[in-house]
């Protein structure tokens, strides 16, 4: 006999395969929808809709039809709907936008940047869908377009801003080894050359 209390925190989540099988088992035990909802820690309307979706019409021994819930049917419907609920690629929703964008930004002499082209398309094609500027940059970084970061010279010079991460200069000019890599005995300054002042070159000559 399953327990009627559940120690899991109640929050919205989609039913999984284990919960579908639990619903089928509890319905055979003549549990009410509300009692099943309390056991699975979800809303009673969720249980009601799930049973309605996963129920099929059967013919009994007395040739009378009846409706029964099957966990496999509910799980199959759930998986089909999950496959159809993903977002559509912007390259499919706005093919004209990306065609004109790539044509414009690959010109030798161009007047538009990514941001200005998005605004231009918004004004001149108000009835057509178009992505946002950050979305276009994400597509470029992911290599989904013919445009590369090397085609956007201003982007290469731009420093990454934000308090959550620091800008790493990959093209930093390194002039020899750092003073932090000197041996530990140099910190005692016992020999000539261990002082930092010995490395300073100026007009004055030490006597």
pLDDT tens for each residue of the chain, 207 residues long: 455 555 555 555 778 888 989 999 999 899 999 999 999 888 899 899 898 888 888 888 888 888 889 888 888 888 888 777 777 888 989 999 999 999 988 888 888 888 999 999 999 999 999 999 999 988 988 888 888 877 776 665 555 555 555 545 444 545 667 777 777 887 777 777 676 665 556 666 555
Same domain, 104 and 70: no
CA distance 29 to 182: 77
Task: Supply the pLDDT for residue 164.
Answer: 54
Task: Supply the pLDDT for residue 101.
Answer: 92
Task: Supply the pLDDT for residue 29.
Answer: 92
CA distance 49 to 196: 78
Task: Supply the pLDDT for residue 7.
Answer: 52
Same domain, 100 and 134: yes
Three-state secondary structure readout of the chain: CCCCCCCCCCCCCCCCHHHHHHHHHHHHCCCCHHHHHHHHCCCHHHHHHHHHHHEEEEECCCCCEEEEECHHHHHHHHHHHHHCCCCCCHHHHCHHHHHHHHHHHCCCCCCCCHHHHHHHHHHHCCCCCCCCHHHHHHHHHCCCCCCCHHHCHHHHHCCCCCCCCCCCCCCCCCCCCCHHHCCHHHHHCCCCCCCHHHHCCCCCCCC
Domain boundary among 123, 151, 179: 151
- Are 35 and 22 contacting, i.e. CB atoms less than 8 angstroms apart? no
Same domain, 116 and 95: yes
**The two three-digit tokens of residue 41, written as one number:** 């820690």
Domain count, the chain: 2
Same domain, 24 and 50: yes
Instruction: Please report, for the domain that includes residue 36, its CATH number.
Output: 1.10.10
- Any domain includes 133: yes
Task: Supply the pLDDT for residue 132.
Answer: 92
Task: Supply the pLDDT for residue 64.
Answer: 86
- Any domain includes 51: yes
Which range of residues forms the domain containing residue 107?
A: 90-151
Task: Supply the pLDDT for residue 1.
Answer: 46
- pTM confidence score: 0.42
- Any domain includes 186: no
Task: Supply the pLDDT for residue 65.
Answer: 87
Task: Supply the pLDDT for residue 87.
Answer: 77
CA distance 167 to 113: 23
């Amino acid at each position: 006999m399953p327990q009627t209390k559940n120690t899991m925190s109640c929050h919205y989540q989609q039913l999984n395969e284990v919960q579908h099988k639990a619903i089928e088992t509890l319905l055979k035990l003549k549990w009410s929808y509300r009692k099943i909802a309390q056991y699975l820690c979800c809303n009673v309307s969720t249980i009601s809709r799930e049973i309605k979706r996963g129920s099929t019409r059967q013919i009994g021994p007395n040739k009378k039809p009846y409706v029964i819930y099957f966990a496999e049917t509910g799980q199959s419907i759930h998986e089909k709907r999950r496959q159809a609920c993903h977002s559509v690629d912007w390259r499919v929703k706005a093919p004209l936008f990306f065609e004109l964008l790539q044509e414009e930004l690959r010109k030798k002499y161009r007047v538009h940047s990514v941001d200005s082209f998005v605004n231009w398309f918004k004004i001149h094609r108000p009835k057509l869908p178009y992505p946002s500027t950050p979305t276009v940059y994400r597509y470029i970084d992911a290599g989904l377009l013919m445009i590369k970061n090397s085609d956007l010279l201003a982007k290469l010079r731009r420093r990454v801003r934000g308090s959550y991460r620091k800008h790493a200069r990959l093209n930093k000019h390194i002039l020899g080894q750092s003073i932090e890599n000197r041996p530990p005995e140099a910190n005692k300054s016992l020999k000539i050359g261990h002082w930092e002042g010995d490395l300073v070159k100026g007009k004055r000559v030490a006597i």
